[in-house]
Amino acid sequence: MLNFLTHLPSIFISSVSQGFLWSFLAVGVYITFRLLDIPDMTTEGSFPLGGAIVSILILQGASPVISTSLAVLGGMLAGLITGLLHTKLKIPALLAGIITMTGLYSINSRIMANSATLSLIQQPTVFSWFEKILKQPHLSIIILGGMLLLILLPLLYLFFQTEIGLAIIATGDNLTMSQANGINTNSTQLLGYMLANGLIALSGALLTQQKGFSDLNAGIGTIVIGLASIIVAEVLFKQKPLLTRLFTIVLGTVVYRLILAFILELPIQANDNKFFSALFLAGCLCLPLLQQQEKKLKKGVTYHG
């Protein structure tokens, strides 16, 4: 415990920096999961895809910014494929995502020249310039990540305020109504898929550069990380308008990283971590229900049978 307390400042700062980079993924998952009301498993393929593209391009000498941008494009393409499987071939959303995710594993492996990891040690990254000036890796991640979030989230919000953006939200809310009002719901779903997976690949590309290597298996569990961050945000900050919601997701992601860091400090076996993470997630998910019950009890209303 003492150990944990002395580690606290560094745990905190690394959770914030990690949380910032993971929050692009969480916002991407939010677009499909909440706005479009579609469970999209593509995440677990488009996240490592972002890492694979950025690492191979940087190793080939491309600039980190261009490599990261191409990683985003790659993610959007993956989203497009799941979207086409779902909208054109009428494959249920969950399966469509799993198909793309499965196929991407081989594609990612090819991109990474058939190796399971690619090291970026001694290679330039998008963080290099800040690191040189600040001499503080975590701080430069927080600053660059924070700046990106401050630019991208308001832009995303503005997009959802446009006629096309609002049509995407309507599609997730009420498909029948959307079609009756002339919204081509296939197009809006495709757009949502692309936007979401572009952000997820961005997250993968940034985290790869931060960690210094890409990992073919980095996608495992990413959907849970995204969902958990969203749920933490929704439990801590209820009923928020979209712009606020996007920023609370960043906070939710940071809080989730902190909780994970805390679980890591517990005197448990390394492989038991996931179990406690799952337990925590289940707890968060049933929290709204518990709060409701509490309210009912306070009002003196009880239900029998």
Partner 1 sequence: MANLLELNNVNHYFHLNTVHETHVLQDIQLTMKEGEFVTIIGGNGAGKSTLLNSIAGTFPVTSGNILLNQEDITKKNVVQRSQFISRVFQDPKAGTAVRLTVGENLAIAACRGKKRTLSRAKTAKNRSFFIEKLKGLNMGLEEKIDTEIGLLSGGQRQSITLLMATLNKPKLLLLDEHTAALDPKSSHIIMNKTKELIDQQHLTTFMITHNMEDALNYGQRLIMLHQGKIVVDLDETAKKNLTVADLLTLFQEQSGHSIQDDALLLQ
Contact residues for partner 1 (CB under 8 A)? 159, 161-167, 169-170, 173-174, 176-185
Comparison of 28 and 165: residue with beta carbon closer to partner 1: 165
> Shortest gap between Cβ of 182 and partner 1 (angstroms)?
4
Report helix angle 2-30 to 242-265, nearest 10: 140
> Shortest gap between Cβ of 198 and partner 1 (angstroms)?
17
Q: Find out whether 31 and 196 touch, Cβ atoms under 8 Å.
A: yes
The length of the chain, given as a count of residues:
305
C-alpha–C-alpha distance, residues 14 and 264, integer Å: 13
> By three-state DSSP, how is residue 61 classified?
coil
User: Hey, what are 18's tokens?
Assistant: 């990690």
> Shortest gap between Cβ of 178 and partner 1 (angstroms)?
7
C-alpha–C-alpha distance, residues 38 and 93, integer Å: 7
Comparison of 241 and 267: residue with beta carbon closer to partner 1: 241
> Shortest gap between Cβ of 166 and partner 1 (angstroms)?
4
Comparison of 128 and 162: residue with beta carbon closer to partner 1: 162
Q: Find out whether 48 and 204 touch, Cβ atoms under 8 Å.
A: yes
Integer angstrom CA distances of residue 302 from 20, 292, 294? 43, 12, 10
> Shortest gap between Cβ of 87 and partner 1 (angstroms)?
12
Comparison of 60 and 176: residue with beta carbon closer to partner 1: 176
What is 28-59 written as a DSSP string? HHHIIIIIS----TTHHHHHHHHHHHHHHHHH
Comparison of 37 and 131: residue with beta carbon closer to partner 1: 37
Residue 214: φ, ψ to 5°: -100, 155
> Shortest gap between Cβ of 181 and partner 1 (angstroms)?
5
Q: Find out whether 23 and 253 touch, Cβ atoms under 8 Å.
A: yes
Comparison of 71 and 167: residue with beta carbon closer to partner 1: 167
